[in-house]
Amino acid sequence: MDILDSLRNIIGPDHVLTGSDTAGFATDWIGKYENTPLAVLRPASVDEVSRIMALANDTGTPVVPVSGHTGLAGGAHAPEGSVMLSLTRLNKIRQIKPDARLAIVDGGVVLESLHHAVAEHGLRFPMTFGAQGSCMIAGMLATNAGGSNVLKFGNTRALCIGIEAVLPDGRVLDLMSELHKDNSGYDLRNLLIGSEGTLAVITGAVLKLVPAPAARATALLALDTLTDALSVLNRLQKATGGAVEAFEYMPAHYMSAIHTHLEGLNPVFGTEPNMTILAEIASTAPKDALPGPDGSLPLDATFENILAEAIEAGQIQDAVIAQNDTQRSQMWTRREAAAEVCLSRNPLVNNDISLPLDQVEPFLTRMKAELIQLDPGAETLEVAHLGDGNIHYNVYPSTPALCDPVMELVEDVVRNLGGSFSAEHGIGVSKLQSMQRRKDPVALAVMHQIKQALDPKGIMNPGKVLPNCGEVIFRAGQL
């Protein structure tokens, strides 16, 4: 029997998409990688995923898991002869447990849908970023996605305590524990999180929830230096007991690009400051949401007082605090449109790097000087989750021929400052050469061994994460 007929028998003919029906999966989100799969599969249950993987394993058919298809590193690129396994129909919120503050979900649940569902219980899943209306939980786990609230709540890995996955041979790995502590052997859950679909298909998860904020305060701050910005961040953290949820860096040239690109958004300050910080604090304490005699909230007053002290100390030049949800939304629009604006030009070297907090400013200073030496005509457009040291550093070289040299230059500076060439977007296809150049050889060798052990036929999302180093040889005593 033809493999497509076998797949139709498993999930039904309407859910094995071929030819023109795969048009919605033809490219990745940024339009860089074209997909030419044999078929796109849309299973509706874990059992169907299991049967698909068993068949793929028997026939040696490559499988590319795909969730919301919003990745930026080519992690869901599907070469000819592969099948794309879409989690679109595996989208049930299985259970919300308010007392335990847990959500048990299918892998295909859209992040925004989860936000709405848990909000009805006065809770939230504290992960958010621009693609929240389309990204799915399995994709977030597969890439260990970050976002704007990592400063307080950590990456997706920190918010997951249980996972369900289908292995390449079709076996279902049930790690759907609701335990916060379990020391029974290797941490397979965290092995799969961040593996970008190269080890298994994530089909379910147990996620941590937190109480919804009783009050929130958001502001745009005008500053001169990153040194001042870190001082303000530390001032806010100390004065609020660690209530800072977001601290986003947007330099002047980024803000100018945003205001040019997005209609209806005008500069907040009279003159564009050297940098703008989007700062947000939140509290779950009812007392912080109880209006005072003048109608103001205690959290707002606390925020205003801290910012006033920073202005008095010369750390902040100006500040605008959101007075309502509309103003807060407009502030966040300036930050969440970053991908749309930064990816709108070519040629582009898209860097997603991580640095120690006190090395962000040295990185930007060094890159400015060294980039001019390499390519005097290059331009940059960067934005950062400053609170956790994650910079989205985009370079537009004067010619495509300089893309690789620019990437290597960024890697050199990042490594010299103790950073990483990948912070939250993953490796996918786009950073394979970076992995080859920069990842510890022993770590790469261990990764190859893990891949070989779990996926000996190499059918799971081939060509991602692990660079093709030719034949990988493991000698006794090498590791």
Query: Domains in the chain, ordered, with CATH?
Result: 3-86 (3.30.43.10), 93-211 (3.30.465.10), 215-338 (3.30.70.2190), 345-435 (3.30.70.2740)
* Residue 347 preceded by cis peptide, ω within 30: yes
Give the tens place of pLDDT for each residue, 100-148.
999 999 999 999 999 999 999 999 999 998 889 999 999 999 999 998 9
pLDDT of residue 1 exceeding 60: no
C-alpha separations of 173 from 53, 85, 164, 285 in Å: 13, 18, 6, 39
Rounded-to-integer distance, Cα 24 and Cα 40, Å: 10
* pLDDT, position 130: 82
Q: Is the confidence at residue 423, as pLDDT, over 60?
A: yes
Q: How far apart are CA 64 and CA 355, in angstroms?
A: 31
pLDDT in tens, 352-403: 999 999 999 999 999 999 999 999 999 999 999 999 999 999 999 999 999 9
pLDDT for residue 474: 34
Neighbours of 454 (CB within 10 A): 19
Coil vs helix vs strand at 236: helix
The pLDDT assigned to 343 comes to 86
pLDDT for residue 155 is more than 70: yes
pLDDT score recorded for residue 270: 86
- Residue at token pair 């076998």: 6
> What residue spans of 144-225 are helical by DSSP H?
150-153, 188-192
Distance from C-alpha of 25 to C-alpha of 16, rounded to nearest angstrom? 13
pLDDT for the residue 355: 98
Query: Which structure tokens are listed for 456?
Result: 């000996």
Among 178, 214, 170, smallest CA distance to 48 is for 170
Tens digit of each residue's pLDDT (9 = 90 or more) over 160-217: 999 999 999 999 999 999 999 999 999 999 999 999 999 999 999 999 999 999 999 9
- Chain-centre distance of CA 296, in angstroms? 35
pLDDT value of position 263: 86
Question: pLDDT over 90 for what percent of the chain?
Answer: 88
Q: What pLDDT was estimated at residue 477?
A: 36
Nearest alpha-carbon partner for 62 in 92, 41, 33: 41
Q: How confident is residue 469, by pLDDT bands cut at 50, 70 and 90?
A: very low
Closest CA to 280 of 351, 328, 222: 328
Q: What is the pLDDT of residues 383-397, one digit of tens each?
A: 999 999 999 999 999
Answer yes or no: is pLDDT of 470 > 80.
no
> Looking at the predicted structure, is the pLDDT value of residue 464 above 90?
yes
- Kindly state the percentage of the chain with pLDDT values over 70: 97
